[in-house]
């Protein structure tokens, strides 16, 4: 099912530059679930969930995923809903939440939560607080409020896939978060580091693909069994014709890199929708990152944003064809769960690898 949903509750939206349209239209394509709200619950039920926006530059992807202060987009709404559900289920399970945030800029993965000396959140904390930082599962983990400007400079970001097919970025700065507000603060901090620039098509065009991942560990109070949920939110950079966007020299490089990665994404979608035996995930970092979201172990919702104006008819057609192809993809979804004993053994193995104390686990 492909649902056409007017995303333009924005009557009177004025264009600010060049060819920005007076309205946008959003086509919602859902794989494996009914809608965004149900998907947030699925994350807490131990599933991988991806929500992403695809479309031509200036068509409203960032507005859909991030929104504005008065009209929050999918990400802030998802964060709020997630913590409402966590609170509602408090008597049944405990939940540990953490998040990391990356951009893929000129084919390079950049850690948007990596502390810098300029980070406002890093300045007000004492040294003793910084000492509480912990290392976890090969990634750099910390409570978000404890970010230290000098530590956690990981060497390299690596895209990894576990045995169940879940993708994660090794080496990313991971913030542990305990409320929607904390998660939102981390998110906003990350956004300030994202590459954007004015083009003829969009006064604040995203020059990178944005990926936010929220990881949940849900432990049942009754049985001790553990579920792992993962929510991935993706605001893709827009495909653009440089003749229309009027790209400068740097922007030309960015546009080429964006178009190349989106073309690799198109190849993956084509291969999956035609049930080809080979899917070229490894052709781009973007497709490697989205490997579990497209054709893998994830419930996935894709918003395809299109422009309704005649001037953009070609791009709109391409996006709609993309939407209908993506709709043919079938993901194979399973819950990420472990019983109490397996969780205990995994925790021992992980601690042994890190050379940590095992006293608590063995008694």
Ligand X SMILES: Nc1ncnc2c1ncn2[C@@H]1O[C@H](COP(=O)(O)OP(=O)(O)OP(=O)(O)O)[C@@H](O)[C@H]1O
Residues 166-205 that bind ligand X (CB under 6 A): 202-205
Nearest approach, Cβ of residue 181 and ligand X (Å):
24
Instruction: Please identify which residue in 46, 60, 171, 190 interacts with ligand X, judged by CB under 6 A.
Output: 60
Is 340 labelled as part of a ligand binding site?
A: no
Ranked by CB distance to ligand X, the top (closest) residue is: 238
| Residue 353, annotated as binding a ligand | no
Among 145, 115, 120, CA closest to 132: 145
- In the complex, least distance from residue 335 CB atom to ligand X, rounded to whole angstroms: 33
Answer yes or no whether residue 20 interacts with ligand X by CB under 6 A. yes
219 labelled as ligand-binding?
A: no
Residue 99 β-bridge partners: 175, 214
Cβ–Cβ contacts within 10 Å for residue 148, how many? Answer: 16
- Compose the 217-246 pattern: x for residues touching ligand X by CB under 6 A, - for all others: --------------------xx--------
56 marked as part of a ligand binding site:
yes
Size of the site for ligand X (CB under 6 A): 22
- Does 61 bind ligand X (CB under 6 A)? Our answer is yes
Least distance to ligand X from the beta carbon of 210, Å? Answer: 9
* Residue 236 near residue 67, CB atoms below 8 Å: no
Q: What's the token pair of residue 204?
A: 């604040």
Residue recorded with tokens 């050379």: 355
Report DSSP letters for 89-154, one per residue: TTTTEEEEEEEEEEEEETTEEEETT---TT-HHHHS--HHHHTT-EEETTEEEEEGGG--SSS---
In the complex, what is the shortest distance from the CB of residue 125 to ligand X, in angstroms, rounded to a whole number? 33
Please list, in sequence order, all residues whose beta carbon lies within 8 angstroms of the beta carbon of residue 219, skipping any fewer than 6 positions away. 93, 94, 95, 96, 225, 226, 343
**Which residue lies nearer to ligand X by CB, 48 or 202?**
202
Phi and psi, residue 339, nearest 5°: -80, 175
Report the residue from 189, 305, 319, 331 that binds ligand X according to the rule CB under 6 A: 305
What's the closest the beta carbon of residue 280 comes to ligand X, in angstroms? 24
To the question of whether residue 57 is assigned a binding role by annotation, the answer is yes
60 labelled ligand-binding: yes
65 sits in the region (left: phi over 0; alpha: psi -120 to 50; else beta) called alpha
- As measured in angstroms, the least distance from the Cβ of 74 to ligand X is 12
Of these, 44, 47, 49, 55, which contacts ligand X (CB under 6 A)? 55
Burial of 318 (0-12, 13-18, 19+ CB in 10 A): middle
Q: Report the interface residues with ligand X, using CB under 6 A.
A: 7-8, 10, 13, 20, 24, 55, 57-63, 202-206, 237-238, 305
Binding positions are: 55-62
Binding region for ATP: 55-62
């Amino acid at each position: 099912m492909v649902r056409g949903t007017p995303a333009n509750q924005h009557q009177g939206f004025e264009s600010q530059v060049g060819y920005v349209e007076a309205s946008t239209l959003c086509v919602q394509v859902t794989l494996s679930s009914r809608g965004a709200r149900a998907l947030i619950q699925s994350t807490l039920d131990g599933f991988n969930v991806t929500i992403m926006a695809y479309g031509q530059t200036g068509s409203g992807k960032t507005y859909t995923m991030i929104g504005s202060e008065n009209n929050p987009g999918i990400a802030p709404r998802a964060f709020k809903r997630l913590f409402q559900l966590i609170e509602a289920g408090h008597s049944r399970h405990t939940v540990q939440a953490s998040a990391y945030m990356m951009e893929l800029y000129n084919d390079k993965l950049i850690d948007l939560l990596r502390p810098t000396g300029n980070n406002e959140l890093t300045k007000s904390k004492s040294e003793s607080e910084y000492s509480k930082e912990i290392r976890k599962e090969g990634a750099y983990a910390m409570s978000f409020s404890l970010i230290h400007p000098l530590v956690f400079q990981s060497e390299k970001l690596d895209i990894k896939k576990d045995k169940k097919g879940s993708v994660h970025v090794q080496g990313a700065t991971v913030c542990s978060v305990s409320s929607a507000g904390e998660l939102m603060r981390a998110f906003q901090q990350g956004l300030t580091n994202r590459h954007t620039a004015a083009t003829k098509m969009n006064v604040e065009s995203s020059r990178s693909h944005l990926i936010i991942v929220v990881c949940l560990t849900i432990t049942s109070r009754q049985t001790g069994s553990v579920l792992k949920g993962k929510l991935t939110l993706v605001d893709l950079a827009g495909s653009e014709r440089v003749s229309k966007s009027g790209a400068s020299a740097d922007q030309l490089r960015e546009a080429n890199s964006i178009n190349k990665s989106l073309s690799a994404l198109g190849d993956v979608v084509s291969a999956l929708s035609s049930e080809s035996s080979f899917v070229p995930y490894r052709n781009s970092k973007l497709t490697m990152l989205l490997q579990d979201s497209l054709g893998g172990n994830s419930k996935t919702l894709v918003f395809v944003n299109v422009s309704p104006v005649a001037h953009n008819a070609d791009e709109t057609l391409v996006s709609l064809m993309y939407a209908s192809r993506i709709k043919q993809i079938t993901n194979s979804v399973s819950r990420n769960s472990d019983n109490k004993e397996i969780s205990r053994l995994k925790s021992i193995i992980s601690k042994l690898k890190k050379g940590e104390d095992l006293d608590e686990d063995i008694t």
